[in-house]
Amino acid sequence: MITFDDVVKVYPGGGTAVDHVSLELATGKTTVFVGPSGCGKTTSLRMINRMISPTSGRVLIDGKDVAGQDEALLRRGIGYVIQHAGLFPHRTVLDNVATVPVLLGKTRREAREAAMKLLERVGLAAEFAQRYPAQLSGGQQQRVGVARALAADPPIMLMDEPFSAVDPVVREGLHREFLRLQQELGKTIVMVTHDIDEAIKLGDEVVIFRQGGVVAQVGTPQELLADPADDFVAEFVGRDRGLRSLSFDTAAGLPVRPLPAELVVDDAGRPLGWKSADGVRPTGGTFTSADTLRLVADLAILSPVGIAVRVDADGVADGIAPHHDLADYLAARRS
Amino acid sequence: MNLSYLFDAAHWDFSTSGSIPQLLLSHIWYVFLALVIGTAIALPIGLYIGHTGRGSFIAINAGNAGRSLPTLGLLMLMVTLLGLGLLPVLIALTVLVIPPILTSAYAGLRSLDQRVVDAARGVGMRPWQVLTRVELPMALPVLMSGFRSAALQVVATATVAAAVGLGGLGRLLIDGLAVNDYSRVLAGAIVVAVLAVLLDLILALAQRWIISPGLRASR
Amino acid sequence: MINYLSNNSEAVLAALRQHIVLALIPVVLGFLIALPIGYLGVRVPWLYHPLVNVAGVLYSIPSLALFVFLPVVLGTKILSPLNIVVALTIYTVALLARTVADGLRSVDFLITESATAMGYRRFRRLVDVELPVALPVILAGLRVATVANISLVSVGALIGVGGLGQLFTRGFQLFYIEPILVGVILSVLLAGVADLVIVLIQRAVTPWTRFQGSRA
C-alpha cells in the first residue's frame, strides 16, 4: 500500500502544488490521478519515487517512509513509464528493456534474455529487439517503455501520462493491452492522466485533483459518475456521465421480449434486419447478456425501429429490448 | 612582462609611420576590404543555394574546405605567384572569408521552419519578398555567426600577412621578433588580441540589435 | 612538384610528422580538459554563460598573437614547440568546452528524467546515458577543432616551429613555389584524412544516429 500522509508541496515562489493530501492507494490495484493541468497530480506521483520531495508530510510504501530510503535503490524497485516513453536513443530496444536489471547487478546476458520475454509479453515481435527507438512508431515505443518499467518485476509501477502522445486508435489498443497485462500481473499501479475517460476506463480507483493541489474526490469510477461530490467533479466528469455510468453494468438482468415477426433472421436464426417498405433495414448491431447496458442503449438509439436485438454466444437472436423497456428497467433500478 | 613599448607615447603618435595607430588603421582597412569583397561574393551564392536547394553539396563542403586551408600557406602561395603587394594578400584574405559566409547563409536558410516559408508563400508573397522579408531575417542568427567567424579569421590572417611584407599590426610581431625586441612583440600581441575581442564584441552587439527579439527567445 | 618531393622527401616527411604531433596532441589534451569544464557548465547553470563568453574571447585571439604571447607568460623559449601545443590546446578547450556543454544540454530532459527515475546515480547516468546521447554533437565539435588545429600549426613556422609551415617559409624565402604547394596540399589532405577518421569513428560508436530523423 502507498500512503500519502498530509503531504504538502510548496515551490519557492511558485505557490502550492500539493495541498494537504492524504490518500491510501491499494496494493495490486490501479489508482488514477486525474485533473486539469497544474492540479498537482504529477507532483504527487513523483513524490512516490522521490523525484520530488514533499515540503511537509510523508509518503510511505508499505508503512516505510520513502524519505529514509536510498533514492537510487528505491527507484530501481519502482517501474516508471512516461509520455513519449523517454527511451534511450543510443540503446537498442532490447538494451533499453534490460536497463534496470543491469543496474541491479544482473549480467548483460541474463538481463537480455529476460528482456526478450518481456517484449513478447507487451506484444512486440522479436524482430524489434535489435532496433533503435528512432525506428519505432509512437505506440511501439510506448510498449517498450512499459516493458522497460516491468523489467525488474517491480511491485509498483508509476505511469505519467503514458498514453497521451499516441493517436486515439493506437491508444485504444494500448488500453486493451494494459488491462490484459494488469489482470495477469496485478501490480500496484499509479497513473496520471488529464483524460477522465481514460481514468474511468483503466482505474480501479480514481483520485480527482482540482487546481491548487487539492483532492476533490476519491472513489471508484462508478461512484464518481453516479455521485459526484460537487459541481467541479460533476463538470470534470462530463455531461453524459449518466450514459457513461451504464458502462459498469451488464445486460444480464435486463428483461427481453420474444422475437417479433418483423425481425428477419437467417436459417440458423441469426438476425439480418428489420422488415420495412423498402426491404430489409440492418439492425445496426446486437448485444449479448455479457455486454454493457451502455451498448444496449446505444443500439436502441441507433436502431431504425428503436429496438436492440439480443443474441446468444452463437449469434442466434434470442430476444429484443425496446428503448422504453430499457428506460423502465433503469427507472426501476434507481428506486 | 615588459610593456614599455606599448606605453611609450612616441609609439602612439599618429603622424609617425609605423606607429601603433597607423598599423591599427591599416589592419582594420585590410579586414574591412576583405569582408566587404568576400561577403559580396559569398552571400548571394549562399542565399541562392539555400533558397533553391541547388548545389547544396558545394555549400556543405565549403565550410570544411575553408577551415582546412592553412592561412600562412595560402598567403605565401599568393605572394609567390603574384608578387609582393596588397592584391595577393587581399585575394588570400577574401578566399578565407567566402567559406564561412557561404556555408552559414546556406545553413541559415535551410534551418528555417519550412512551414513558415510555406505560410509566406501562402499569404501571397513573391519569391523575392519571401527571401528578403521572411527567410533572410529568420536566417540572420546563423548568418551572423558565420560572419563573425569570418571576421575573426581575417583579423588573425591579416596579422600573419606582415610576414609577406604587408603593414598592419602583424608588423609589430614580425619586426619585433626579427630584432629580438620582445617588448614590441608583446605590444603587438596585446593590441591585436584586443582588436579581435573588441570586433567580436561589436559584432555580437550588432547581432543583438539587428535580429528580431522574437527569434532570440529560442536561441 | 614530384621532383621537389623526391629530392626532399626526408625533410617533407619530418615536417609532416611534426605537423601531426603538434596538431593532434592539443586535440587530445584539449578534449580531456574540455570534458570536465563543459560538464561544469551544465551542472552549475550560472557558469554556462561566463564559460561561453570566456571561451569566445579566447577563441577570438589571433593565433600568431597567442604564439608570441605565451613565452612571456609561461617563461618558455620563443622557439619551443610547447608554445604551439599550449596555444592550440587553449583553442581546443575553448571550442570543445562549449560543445560539450551544449551537447549535454541538448540531451532531452525526458531521457535524463527517466534515467533518474529508473535509479541511475548521477555519475553513472552521465557516463551511461548523457555522454553517449551527446556524443554526436561532441564529435562534430571535435571535427572542427581537429581541422582548425591542423591548419593553424603552420602559422607556428613564423616563430620557427610549424610542421609543414616550414615548407611555406622556406619556399617564400627562395620565392620558389613547389614547397609551398606541397605544404598546402599535404596540410589540406591531412585535415581531410583526420576529419574522415573522426567521421568513421562516429559512425562506429553512434550507430543509432543513422535512424534519427526518419521518424520523430
Considering only the beta carbons, identify the residue of C64, C150, C181 that sits closest to B173.
Answer: C64
A26 touching C, CB under 8 A? no
Q: What is the pLDDT of residue B33?
A: 95
Sequence-separated (6 or more) residues with CB below 8 Å from residue A185: A150
Give the mean model confidence (pLDDT) for residues B175-179: 88
Max mean pLDDT among A166-180, A264-278, C107-121 falls in C107-121
The chain C residue lying nearest A82, using CA atoms, is C114
Q: What is the pLDDT of residue C94?
A: 94
Weakest-pLDDT range from A184-193, B123-132, B148-157, C145-154: B123-132
C204 touching A, CB under 8 A? no
C131 touching A, CB under 8 A? no
Q: What is the pLDDT of residue C214?
A: 47
Q: What is the pLDDT of residue C213?
A: 59
Q: Which residues of C touch A115 (CB under 8 A)?
A: none
Q: What is the pLDDT of residue B212?
A: 79
Q: Looking at the predicted structure, is the pLDDT value of residue A34 above 90?
A: yes
Residue B75 phi, psi (nearest 5): -60, -50
Considering only the beta carbons, identify the residue of A103, A131, A136 that sits closest to C118.
Answer: A103
Considering only the beta carbons, identify the residue of B80, B155, B160 that sits closest to C177.
Answer: B80
The chain C residue lying nearest A154, using CA atoms, is C118
The chain C residue lying nearest A88, using CA atoms, is C111
Q: What is the pLDDT of residue B1?
A: 67
State whether C64 and B1 contact (CB < 8 Å). no
Query: For the whole prediction, is pTM greater than 0.90?
Result: no
Q: What is the pLDDT of residue B219?
A: 41
C38-89: per-residue pLDDT in tens?
999 999 999 999 998 899 888 888 998 899 888 888 888 888 899 999 999 9
Task: Identify which of A258, A260, A259, A265 has the alpha carbon closest to the alpha carbon of residue A280.
Answer: A265
Q: Looking at the predicted structure, is the pLDDT value of residue A322 above 80?
A: yes
Q: Which residues of B touch C12 (CB under 8 A)?
A: none
A148 touching C, CB under 8 A? yes
Query: Nearest C-alpha of chain B: how many angstroms from C147?
Result: 6
Query: Which of C106, C112, C113, C208 should one mutate to test binding to chain A, selecting the residue with the greatest count of A CBs within 10 A?
Result: C208
Q: Which residues of C touch A86 (CB under 8 A)?
A: 108, 110-111, 113-114
The chain C residue lying nearest B176, using CA atoms, is C68
Q: Looking at the predicted structure, is the pLDDT value of residue A261 above 90?
A: no
Q: Looking at the predicted structure, is the pLDDT value of residue A100 above 60?
A: yes
CATH of domain A251-334: 3.10.580.10
State whether C121 and A72 contact (CB < 8 Å). yes
Q: Which three cell numbers stand for residue A227?
A: 455521485
Residue A292 phi, psi (nearest 5): -85, 160
Distance from C-alpha of A42 to C-alpha of A136, rounded to nearest angstrom: 27
Q: What is the pLDDT of residue B132?
A: 86
Our answer on whether C and A touch (3+ beta-carbon pairs < 8 Å) is: yes
What are the C-alpha distances in Å from A171 to residues A77, A158, B37, B61? 27, 18, 59, 45
- Chains touching C (at least 3 CB pairs under 8 A) are A, B
Distance from C-alpha of A134 to C-alpha of A120, rounded to nearest angstrom: 20
Q: What is the pLDDT of residue A263?
A: 87
Sequence-separated (6 or more) residues with CB below 8 Å from residue A279: none
The chain C residue lying nearest A98, using CA atoms, is C118
Q: Which residues of A touch C127 (CB under 8 A)?
A: none
Q: What is the pLDDT of residue B147?
A: 93
Distance from C-alpha of A177 to C-alpha of A191, rounded to nearest angstrom: 15
Q: Which residues of B touch C168 (CB under 8 A)?
A: 70, 72-73, 76-77
Number of cross-chain residue pairs from B and C with Cβ atoms under 8 Å apart: 139
The chain A residue lying nearest C210, using CA atoms, is A134
- E strands present in chain A: 2-11, 15-25, 30-34, 56-61, 64-65, 78-82, 156-160, 188-193, 205-210, 214-219, 263-265, 271-276, 279-281, 286-287, 307-311, 317-322
State whether C114 and A51 contact (CB < 8 Å). no
Mean pLDDT, chain C, whole residue set: 91
Our answer on whether A and B touch (3+ beta-carbon pairs < 8 Å) is: no
State whether B170 and C64 contact (CB < 8 Å). yes
C143-187: per-residue pLDDT in tens?
999 999 999 999 999 988 889 999 999 999 888 899 999 999 999
Cβ density class A15-47: b for 16+ within 10 Å, e for less: eebbbebebebeeebbbbbbbeeebbbbbbbbb
State whether C151 and B192 contact (CB < 8 Å). no
State whether C117 and A90 contact (CB < 8 Å). no
Q: CATH second-level architecture of A2-248? A: 3-Layer(aba) Sandwich (3.40)
- Chains touching B (at least 3 CB pairs under 8 A) are C
Query: Nearest C-alpha of chain B: how many angstroms from C120?
Result: 30
Weakest-pLDDT range from A98-107, B35-44, B190-199, C70-79: C70-79
Give the mean model confidence (pLDDT) for residues A194-200: 89
State whether C158 and B163 contact (CB < 8 Å). yes
Q: Looking at the predicted structure, is the pLDDT value of residue A222 above 90?
A: no
Query: Which of A70, A90, A94 should one mutate to test binding to chain C, selecting the residue with the greatest count of C CBs within 10 A?
Result: A90
Q: What is the pLDDT of residue B25?
A: 92
Give the mean model confidence (pLDDT) for residues B106-116: 87
Q: Looking at the predicted structure, is the pLDDT value of residue C133 above 70?
A: yes
More reliable by pLDDT, A21 or C73? A21
Q: What is the pLDDT of residue C216?
A: 39
Task: Identify which of A135, A191, A130, A183 has the alpha carbon closest to the alpha carbon of residue A159.
Answer: A191
Task: Identify which of C43, C53, C55, C16 has the alpha carbon closest to the alpha carbon of residue C165.
Answer: C16
Give percent above pLDDT 70 in chain B.
98
Q: How is chain B split into domains, by residue range?
A: 20-212
Q: What is the pLDDT of residue A262?
A: 86
Weakest-pLDDT range from A70-74, A120-124, B73-77, C99-103: A120-124
DSSP state of C151: H
State whether C68 and B173 contact (CB < 8 Å). yes
Give the mean model confidence (pLDDT) for residues C18-37: 96
Q: Are A322 and A258 within 8 A, CB to CB?
A: no
The chain B residue lying nearest C158, using CA atoms, is B163
B55-105: per-residue pLDDT in tens?
888 888 887 788 889 999 999 999 999 988 889 999 999 999 999 999 999
Residues of chain A with CATH 3.10.580.10: 251-334
Residues of chain A with CATH 3.40.50.300: 2-248
Q: What is the pLDDT of residue C15?
A: 93
CATH of domain B20-212: 1.10.3720.10
Q: What is the pLDDT of residue B52?
A: 83
Q: What is the pLDDT of residue C186?
A: 95
Q: What is the pLDDT of residue A158?
A: 94
Q: Looking at the predicted structure, is the pLDDT value of residue A334 above 90?
A: no
A170 touching C, CB under 8 A? no
